[in-house]
Amino acid sequence: MVHLLAPTDLAALRASERDVDVIDVRDPEEWYASGHIEGAKLIPLADLRADPDAVLVHGHVLVFVCAKGVRGMQAAKLAERFGHERVYNIDGGTQGWVNAGLPLVRDTPAAA
């Protein structure tokens, strides 16, 4: 079952669980332009759909995030269908994160 996770509850989940993967399923342009949750991994939804087993670790707690929560929920349901048991979607995505007063970090794209 996919669970909604309030943005303010991510820190507690990370503190109480050993292996928590925060996976941002937005496109790279969104990742760099808007910023992302510290420690998140960028795996665009299209890449996740192409080969979920190649990018998701079984046994880890998976927390998905996108801009508003829709793509994150799609990714979470996909992970669940592939046998992952501890699956969360951040309620409201990065927009909900910012609305909760939490910071996003910004990286610059690596030079080609």
Confidence of residue 108 (pLDDT cuts 50, 70, 90): confident
Domain membership of residue 42 as a residue range: 2-99
The answer to whether position 79 is within a domain reads yes
- Give residue-wise pLDDT tens across range 73-85: 999 999 999 999 9
The answer to whether position 38 is within a domain reads yes
The answer to whether position 24 is within a domain reads yes
Q: How many domains is the chain partitioned into structurally?
A: 1
**And the tokens for 7?**
């943005």
The answer to whether position 47 is within a domain reads yes
CA distances to 20, 52, 84, 92 from 100, rounded to whole Å, are 21, 30, 28, 10
The answer to whether position 106 is within a domain reads no
Q: What angle do CA 57, 74, 46 make, to 5 degrees?
A: 70
CATH of the domain at 50: 3.40.250.10
Q: What angle do CA 73, 77, 78 make, to 5 degrees?
A: 115
